[in-house]
Amino acid sequence: MCGIIGIIGNKPVSRLVYHGLFSIQHRGQSSAGKLTYDGNIHVYKDAGLVRDVFNEDKRIDTPGFIGIGHTRYSTAGMDDIESLKKNAQPEYLVNPFLAAVHNGNIYNCNEVAKTTNRKPRTDCDIQWLLLTIADNLYKKELTIDTIIAACNDVIHKVKGSYSVLFIADSGDHPYLFALTDPRKIRPLVLGKANGYYCLTSETRVFKKINFEFVKDIPGGSVIVIDKDGNVFEKQLIKKPELPCMFEYVYFAKPDSRINGRSVHKVRTEIGRRLAREHPVDADIVIPVPESGRRYALGYSRESGIMIDEGIMKDKAERSFIQQTQEDRDKIVEEGLSFLRSVLDGKKVILVDDSIVRGTNIRKIVSGIRKAGADEIHIRIGCPPLIAPCYLGIDMRSRKEFLARDVEGNIKKWDDIAKEINADSLGYISINGLRDAIGFDICRGCIDFPKGYPPEMREDVTKLFGKDRKDIRAYECL
């Protein structure tokens, strides 16, 4: 899962891209990058947060009326600094000139590699999107038709999830164009303002840079925008869309809309349904900050049990997307404080979005116990995560899940509750989650393998059987 942004207009776009990157920082904290183009390529990218990578004016203000940017969340398992730098995006080629940023995961890289003589510069799967488009455009006149034809070739070759942005230029007519996978697993939206157009991962970007929302880009579509502001769109493959359920549960910010649905309202509705599915006699509802706040609000409203702030968060980093277990533990240990005045002597309903590895919840329960709580009842706004994601979420091995034992068997909820020292544990049901979102979703990690799109089930079953852990095996089946 990453954050992407692309802007084309009639004035320099660099600072708009820069500000837009801050709005999608939550989607990736491993690295950040930005490329603008004015006949020359101006690119800065590095490991770290947006504020750290773009720490000089010369990096923020680069020339060009077209640009793309990226915040990377690594699903590669490569956590050393050199790997993070090497795999930072945007990526580009010079013959023909083509630059790209990508959100998603391609899992048939080995198959795609057989179709090109070009060598990838890195192990990152964006290379196969970039190289395949480049092969199609090589020595051809750059037009709307040739771009659409190139995207059509890609969409029939690659397997996985992708919302990808490209810049291409033949010398005097640059284009910004995008391609979405047929199931629209990863989000992409279009906005506009005063001669500019913007394609990005979340609608909240438009609020930051004062753009107007235009539309969600449909699955299986290519959209091309030229320097004069002409927009061309074609749906190459039409299938029922299955957006990633984890966008609604965790990744997207509450002030965004994904496929027309308010993330804030979805999470509040999940909390309401969670209260109906798993009621409990308690004194107080406590959200895990900030991830559990909307769920707890819905739970409180439906149950009539008072909500209060019993936990304070001191750090802005997101523990789930940290690269190592050591980093995750550090974020939790250093980032939370517990209010004895709120928790002491109380029967507490602790509400959060999800449990993946159990890093957070164990330490939070321990902190609440030490603050004097009599009972702790955990309620979770996502069904138990039981299978790896092969479409862009950093869950590669079944052994990582709290909901599975060391032999790979799915645990009973009561056993998980004992393991984390809670008095009870309740997860939202799959049907409850789907109904709260309002349409069908990709749910392979909670309903394996039938929760994946039908055409992917055989592939992911093979991956699951091998329990892939390394980047090349995982991303390049």
Taking only the tens place, the pLDDT of each residue in 350-401 is 999 999 889 889 999 999 999 999 999 999 999 999 998 999 887 766 677 9
In a domain, 289, yes or no: yes
pLDDT per position as a tens digit, 58-86: 999 999 999 999 999 875 445 578 888 88
Q: Is the pLDDT of residue 332 over 60?
A: no
What is the predicted pLDDT for the residue at 77? 46
Q: Are 27 and 121 found together in one domain?
A: yes
Lowest mean pLDDT segment, chosen from 255-264, 380-389, 401-410, 461-470: 461-470
pLDDT per position as a tens digit, 205-216: 999 999 999 999
Residue scoring higher pLDDT (400 or 265) = 265
Q: Could you list the active site residues?
A: 2
Q: Is the pLDDT of residue 319 over 70?
A: no
Looking at the 3D structure of the chain, how many domains does it have?
A: 2
Report the pLDDT averaged over residues 219-242: 97
What is the predicted pLDDT for the residue at 385? 94
The domain that holds 405 is classified in CATH as: 3.40.50.2020
Q: Are 327 and 391 found together in one domain?
A: yes
Measuring CA to CA, which residue among 144, 155, 129, 128 is closest to residue 218?
155
Q: Phi first, then psi: give them for residue 263, nearest 5 degrees.
A: -65, -40
Residues sharing a CB contact under 8 Å with residue 433, sequence separation 6 or more, in sequence order: 245, 249, 270, 381, 382, 383, 441, 443, 446
DSSP string, 138-203: TTS---HHHHHHHHHHHHTT--EEEEEEEEE-SSS--EEEEEE-TT--S--EEEEETTEEEEES-T
Which of 241, 256, 286 is the C-terminal boundary of a domain? 241
Q: Is the pLDDT of residue 217 over 50?
A: yes
Report the pLDDT averaged over residues 6-22: 97
Collapsing DSSP to helix, strand or coil, 228 comes out as coil
Q: Is the pLDDT of residue 323 over 90?
A: no
Q: Are 196 and 68 found together in one domain?
A: yes
In a domain, 217, yes or no: yes
What is the predicted pLDDT for the residue at 469? 44
Measuring CA to CA, which residue among 177, 203, 181 is closest to residue 192?
203
User: Positive or negative CA dihedral for 290, 292, 298, 301?
Assistant: negative
Q: Are 278 and 235 found together in one domain?
A: no
Measuring CA to CA, which residue among 256, 179, 245, 253 is closest to residue 218?
179
Q: Is the pLDDT of residue 470 over 50?
A: no
Torsion of CA 298, 356, 409, 448, to 10 degrees: 70
Looking at every residue in the chain, the average pLDDT score rounds to 91
User: What is d(CA 55, CA 287) in angstroms, rounded to the nearest whole number?
Assistant: 35
DSSP strand E in 81-159: where?
A: 91-94, 97-106
Measuring CA to CA, which residue among 393, 378, 403 is closest to residue 443?
393
pLDDT level of residue 48 (50, 70, 90 thresholds): very high
Which residues form the domain of 415? Answer: 266-448
What is the predicted pLDDT for the residue at 101? 98
The domain that holds 96 is classified in CATH as: 3.60.20.10
In a domain, 463, yes or no: no
User: What is d(CA 290, CA 277) in angstroms, rounded to the nearest whole number?
Assistant: 23
User: Positive or negative CA dihedral for 464, 238, 75, 24?
Assistant: negative
Q: Are 343 and 281 found together in one domain?
A: yes
pLDDT per position as a tens digit, 178-212: 999 999 999 999 999 999 999 999 999 999 999 99
What is the predicted pLDDT for the residue at 360? 87
For the chain, what percent of residues have pLDDT higher than 70? 91
User: What is d(CA 8, CA 119) in angstroms, rounded to the nearest whole number?
Assistant: 29
User: What is d(CA 384, CA 381) in angstroms, rounded to the nearest whole number?
Assistant: 10
